Structure 1
Amino acid sequence: MLDRLKSHEALIGQLVRYALTGGLASFVNIGVYWVLAARGMDPNLAWAIGFVAAVAVGYVVHSRWSFRGHGRRGNLARTGGRFVIVALVSFALNQFWVWLLVARAGLPLWAPYPLVLGVTPLVVFALNRRWVFG
């Protein structure tokens, strides 16, 4: 029973650290985008550069803090490559929500937010916990 409680506490701790790190990565993404787009760079290119910066920051912080003490750390090529794949899954899943709810169903622009903020992070957390850092 005590081991199970400690396991749940560890999982909750990872979720909290993951959420904080995700907020930091989002801030990096938006900040890079804002600075570059405000200086005249194409907004799509600025967003892509911000996304790459956020993935780099996210990998470092997730590997050293969010998932500390969890699983084993392989070499950078293994975990880094897997982390990038999961980040691309996240990007694609969010694009899918936008396409499905806004472009296809004609719902308001805010309609994907619950899925982008609720479903996608949980899917990405599970992939990171089991496949990338597990």
Structure 2
Amino acid sequence: MRASVLGFVSVGALAAAVHYVVALLAHAGGWQPTGANWIGFLCAFPVSYIGHRRWSFRGTQASHMTAFFKFLTVALLGFLGNQGLLWLALTYTPLPFWFVLGMVMVIIAVSTWLLSRFWAFQYT
């Protein structure tokens, strides 16, 4: 399990960096925060799935097809939480987008790991 956590953190950090940088660039290019967040998510998802499948959860017995759709579900649920928290914080606080996005991404990461480890890439 320790290797799984280390792999998840490493791959997750790379995917989060892609998401964060792309979202900030999209926002700087004129996109509204929630739209920029979608673009960041869409760019980070392939990095996340491939990295987790090949490294974080490489011992899984789940087929690629099964794991992909379960992971997509986990990622979309995480993203919906991300999007909701982002919207709430930006609507009801004076905090800047770059700060809120970073904080929300950290909060959602824990739930994503738990769902990935124990459901999407479950070990049999």
Q: TM-score range by the shorter chain?
A: 0.7 to 0.9
- The equivalent residue for 2:85 is 97
* Contact residue 21 and residue 61 of structure 1 kept, 8 A: yes
Question: Structure 2: which 5+ residue stretches go unaligned?
Answer: none
1:52 is the counterpart of 2:32 = no
Q: Identical aligned pairs, as a percentage?
A: 31
TM-score, normalised to structure 1's length? 0.68
Q: SS of the counterpart of 2:4?
A: helix
- Cα offsets for 1:18-76 (capped at 9, x unmatched): 111111001222343455566x463555542331121111000000101122x313132
1:129 is the counterpart of 2:122 = no
The 3 A distance-change label for structure 1 pair 75 and 90 is: same
- Cα offsets for 1:86-124 (capped at 9, x unmatched): 111111222333455564xx4553578666424x22211
- Cα offsets for 1:3-30 (capped at 9, x unmatched): xxxxxxxx12211211111110012223
Q: Which structure has the larger Rg?
A: 1
Moved over 6 A (4+): none
* Contact residue 102 and residue 112 of structure 1 kept, 8 A: no
- The equivalent residue for 2:75 is 87
Q: Distance in 1 between matches of 2:70 and 2:109?
A: 16
The 3 A distance-change label for structure 1 pair 113 and 132 is: same
Q: Which amino acid aligns with 1:58?
A: S
- The equivalent residue for 2:62 is 73
Equivalent runs, 1:109-120 vs 2, <5 Å? 109=95, 116-118=105-107, 120=108
1:25 is the counterpart of 2:15 = yes
TM-score, normalised to structure 2's length? 0.72
When the two structures are aligned, how many residues end up with a matched partner?
118
* Contact residue 67 and residue 129 of structure 1 kept, 8 A: yes
